[in-house]
Amino acid sequence: MIDRLFETITARKAVDPASSYSAKLLAQGRNRISQKLGEEAIEAVIAATAGDTKALVGESADLLYHLCLLWVDAGITPAMVADELARREAMSGLAEKASRKE
Amino acid sequence: MIDRLFETITARKAVDPASSYSAKLLAQGRNRISQKLGEEAIEAVIAATAGDTKALVGESADLLYHLCLLWVDAGITPAMVADELARREAMSGLAEKASRKE
Amino acid sequence: MIDRLFETITARKAVDPASSYSAKLLAQGRNRISQKLGEEAIEAVIAATAGDTKALVGESADLLYHLCLLWVDAGITPAMVADELARREAMSGLAEKASRKE
Amino acid sequence: MIDRLFETITARKAVDPASSYSAKLLAQGRNRISQKLGEEAIEAVIAATAGDTKALVGESADLLYHLCLLWVDAGITPAMVADELARREAMSGLAEKASRKE
């Protein structure tokens, strides 16, 4: 779903900021997008600790959306983050194998 | 990449907390996982506003990882979040169409 | 300044929520006040990392204000927090003395 | 209590980072102090939404401490923030007076 989200936001980049929330936020710049990401994370934390699963689904969607906005703004692709996750999983697999041998 | 991450964490759920960071955090419970999600969001915000792209890729990976941990803990599947994103995209498309007609 | 802020908010508690932001937020409850505190912290972090001192003064004022709102809501007094700070300072002084003897 | 906290941290500024947490954090710089402030805010949010008053007192102390550290680092004095709070209170008092006349 991240790829689709990323493509949708990339396509909105060129749209009139008056007709697209994505275009508007991208026009407001890095600090504003970062602020929104931080706010959505706070809302996800509150939904999670309150045990409100339906709200956590919604806040997760908001968080992923603003994270992808930040990637578009910073020139980061989903593939770059996927590579980093694969690198960590490989390292973590090795660490787990080592700990089983102890 | 979210699906793969989610599957990896789900598989770790049953593992000994002493040999897996995922299993350890899941054993510590909802509030602790939420706290970690919040902390990773703060680090992503700082990397983004500092203009440190390499750090932002790493913090994005950390953020997605802890978000998936929270989903596993809360019984949320990636499909539930994907549905919510699709619902919003449909609504946002309608809103954009309406604003173009104005 | 914390004492004064705390007294002002306590006085507003009984006021009509339509005419006071403090009364309105207290009426919205714990999770909403917590959310606002988190948002102000994010804005303080961004002002700080951006090196914007004037903005950091404003965000610090916002952060202290929402922290006091949370205390009023939770039945916490400034004296309770001052006691906790004094307790920590005493402990930290002892730790520093010990480290100088090493 | 803010004045006392600010003076204590200012005094620690010149101390060996190996023997003082304040000196160590000030040596690590702006982004690291901001990160700690953000983390303490997250912990305060979680304590507040969980209804854990004792933990919220502790997290409030941590939050104020790291906020003062940030002020010391940024050259902000408590008086600057107190002035901003007084300015806002004056404005808010006028707004309240105006709304009562409506």
pLDDT tens per residue across span D67-77: 999 999 999 99
As separate numbers, helices (DSSP H) first and strands (DSSP E) second, chain B gives 5, 0
Residue range D58-74: mean pLDDT, rounded = 98
Tell me the pLDDT band of B96, cut-offs 50, 70 and 90.
low
What is this model's ipTM?
0.92
Q: What is the pLDDT at residue B3? A: 95
Tell me the pLDDT band of A97, cut-offs 50, 70 and 90.
low
Whole-number average pLDDT of chain D: 92
**C39 and chain A: CB distance < 8 Å anywhere?**
yes
b/e map B1-18, b = 16+ CB within 10 Å: bbeebbebbeebeeeeee
The answer on pLDDT for D61 being more than 60 is yes
Q: What is the pLDDT at residue B92? A: 76
Q: What is the pLDDT at residue A91? A: 84
Tell me the pLDDT band of A44, cut-offs 50, 70 and 90.
very high
Helices assigned H by DSSP within chain A: 2-12, 21-28, 30-49, 53-74, 78-101
Residue range C1-14: mean pLDDT, rounded = 93
Please list every residue in chain C whose beta carbon sits closer than 8 Å to the beta carbon of residue B42.
Answer: 42, 45
Tens digit of each residue's pLDDT (9 = 90 or more) over B70-94: 999 999 999 999 999 999 988 876 6
> Are the beta carbons of D46 and A45 separated by less than 8 Å?
yes
Tens digit of each residue's pLDDT (9 = 90 or more) over A19-37: 899 999 999 999 999 999 9
Whole-number average pLDDT of chain A: 92
| 3-class SS string, A57-85 | HHHHHHHHHHHHHHHHHHCCCHHHHHHHH
Q: What is the pLDDT at residue C92? A: 76
> Are the beta carbons of B39 and D39 separated by less than 8 Å?
yes
Residue range D44-64: mean pLDDT, rounded = 98
Q: What is the pLDDT at residue B93? A: 66
Q: What is the pLDDT at residue C19? A: 85
Q: Which residue in C5, C38, C88 is closest to D45 by CB distance?
A: C38
Distance CA B84, CA B47 (A): 28
**A11 and chain C: CB distance < 8 Å anywhere?**
no
**A45 and chain D: CB distance < 8 Å anywhere?**
yes
Distance CA C90, CA B82 (A): 52
C-alpha gyration radius of chain C: 17
Using CA of residue D41, residue D42, residue D47, residue D51, what is the dihedral sign?
positive
Tens digit of each residue's pLDDT (9 = 90 or more) over C23-68: 999 999 999 999 999 999 999 999 999 999 999 999 999 999 999 9
Tens digit of each residue's pLDDT (9 = 90 or more) over A55-69: 999 999 999 999 999
The chains found to touch D (3+ Cβ pairs under 8 angstroms) are: A, B, C
Please list every residue in chain B whose beta carbon sits closer than 8 Å to the beta carbon of residue D45.
Answer: 38
**D50 and chain A: CB distance < 8 Å anywhere?**
yes
Tell me the pLDDT band of C100, cut-offs 50, 70 and 90.
low
Please list every residue in chain A whose beta carbon sits closer than 8 Å to the beta carbon of residue C43.
Answer: 35
**B17 and chain A: CB distance < 8 Å anywhere?**
no
Whole-number average pLDDT of chain B: 92
Q: Which residue in C20, C37, C78 is closest to D44 by CB distance?
A: C37
